Chain A
Amino acid sequence: FSLTQPHSVSESPGKTVTISCTRSGGNIDKNFVQWYHQRPGSSPTTVIFGDNQRPSGVSSRFSGSIDSPSNSASLTISGLRPEDDGDYFCQSTDRDTQAVIFGGGTKLTVL
């Protein structure tokens, strides 16, 4: 299966942005989706796991959701801040094979 993300998005500080992640092959709602944030030169950090759960310490400005009809997941970031800049990757699993797939990543620019 594969996960497809938009190459880039941009938005102004204080605004809200949504990044999509569309699954091809298999059902999005049968395999949990995670989202990672990576700043240039740094390792990824988790912002959402289990479709919509935030790890301890992650701001409530980050939220995740699943849309079964479109077979996609979304990451929404509200009240954008300059530090939200960077790449965002979605990730999920094939439950039958345990293969792990990442989306290609979306570069978020906070203008």
Chain B
Amino acid sequence: EVQLVESGGGLVQPGGSLRLSCAASGLNFRSYTLAWVRQAPGRGLEWVASISAASVTIVYSDSVKGRFTISRDNAKTSLYLEMNTLRDDDTAIYYCARDKWDDYGFHWFDPWGPGTLVTVSS
């Protein structure tokens, strides 16, 4: 069974930084594209970034480009999201998910982890 478990969320001040991690098990991690998707409290889903299996292709949403960095360590079967210059509107639950872009040629996300909450507030 595929499991994705996020960690690293918490309270951070505006302008601060935070690093999220996603530990994966039960899948051939080094073969799969992975993604971060977030959801502000009571709001809809927003894709953040995707990274291909060998980190060759990385894409970001316009809202985080230049502030967030997605990366992965295939040896540790872990996905990361380095978040800098955080703003109030970055407050959200951050989910990691397998992005099936590599298998299907289009982005769709399955499965998803339970998420980790990031709160940006002074």
- CB A50 to nearest CB in B, in angstroms, measures 7
Q: Would B45 and A91 count as touching, CB distance under 8 A?
A: yes
Q: What band does the interface of chain B fall in when counting residues whose beta carbon is under 8 Å from A?
A: 20 to 34
Q: Chain A contacts of B47 at CB under 8 A? A: 91, 99-102
Closest to B106 in A: A32
On whether the beta carbons of B110 and A55 are closer than 8 Å, the reply is yes
Chain A residue at minimal CB-CB distance from B114: A43
Interface size on A, residues (CB 8 A): 23
Question: Residues 79-122 of chain B: 1 if any A CB is under 8 Å from the residue's CB, otherwise 0?
Answer: 00000000000000001000010001011111111110000000
Task: Determine whether the beta carbon of A99 is less than 8 Å from that of B61.
Answer: yes
Interface contact A98-B59, CB-CB below 8 Å = yes
Q: Is A34 located at the chain interface by the 8 A CB criterion?
A: yes
A43-B95, A43-B115, A45-B112 known; A98 and B107 CB under 8 Å?
Answer: yes
Q: Is the CB of A50 within 8 A of B106?
A: yes
Report how far A46 CA is from B111 CA in the complex, Å.
Answer: 8
Number of A-B contacts (CB under 8 A): 62
Tell me whether A104 and B104 are in contact (CB under 8 A): no
A31 to B105, CA, bound (A): 10
Q: Does A93 contact B (CB under 8 A)?
A: yes
Given that A43-B114, A44-B112, A45-B112 are known contacts, is A100 also in contact with B107, CB under 8 Å in the complex?
yes
Residue among A91, A95, A98, A104 making CB contact with B108, cutoff 8 Å: A91
| Cβ distance A7 to chain B, nearest Cβ, rounded Å | 11
User: A105's closest neighbor in chain B, by CB?
Assistant: B44
Question: Can you report 10 residue pairs joining A to B where beta carbons are below 8 Å apart?
Answer: A31-B106, A43-B112, A43-B113, A44-B95, A49-B108, A50-B104, A98-B59, A101-B47, A102-B45, A105-B44
A residues sitting closer than 8 Å to B (CB atoms) are 31-32, 34, 36, 43-46, 49-50, 55, 89, 91, 93, 95, 98-105
